[in-house]
């Protein structure tokens, strides 16, 4: 499986950047940040995520999804 790379020109991504990239709501991203599942740092009221951490998180989520499908007997 080829590694996902995030082709964005920034080293630090905002919640809005991640929402736009993933096509999800701010609620989805902030809930992942608050739970600690997606590593990030908070500056005042604003969250920032290192692009490399976001890439690692995406790849981990995909690997887990593929593993779950394998265990469930579905093709990945």
User: φ, ψ for residue 7 (rounded to 5)?
Assistant: -90, 70
Q: Give the H/E segment covering residue 59.
A: helix 51-71
Q: What digits encode the pLDDT tens for the residues 28-71?
A: 999 999 999 999 999 999 999 999 999 999 999 999 998 887 77
Residue 56 backbone zone (phi > 0: left; psi -120 to 50: alpha; other: beta): alpha
Angstrom distances, CA of residue 75 to CA of 42, 68, 72: 39, 10, 9
pLDDT of residue 68: 83
Rg (the chain; Cα; Å): 14
* Average confidence (pLDDT) over 8-20: 97
Q: Which residue has the higher pLDDT, 1 or 75?
A: 1
């Amino acid at each position: 499986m080829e590694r996902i790379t995030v082709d964005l020109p920034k080293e630090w991504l905002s919640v809005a950047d991640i929402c736009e990239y993933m096509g999800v709501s701010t609620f989805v991203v902030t809930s992942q940040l608050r739970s600690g599942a997606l590593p990030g740092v908070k500056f005042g009221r604003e969250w920032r995520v290192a692009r490399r951490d976001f890439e690692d998180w995406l790849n981990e989520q995909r690997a887990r999804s593929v593993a779950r499908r394998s265990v469930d007997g579905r093709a990945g």
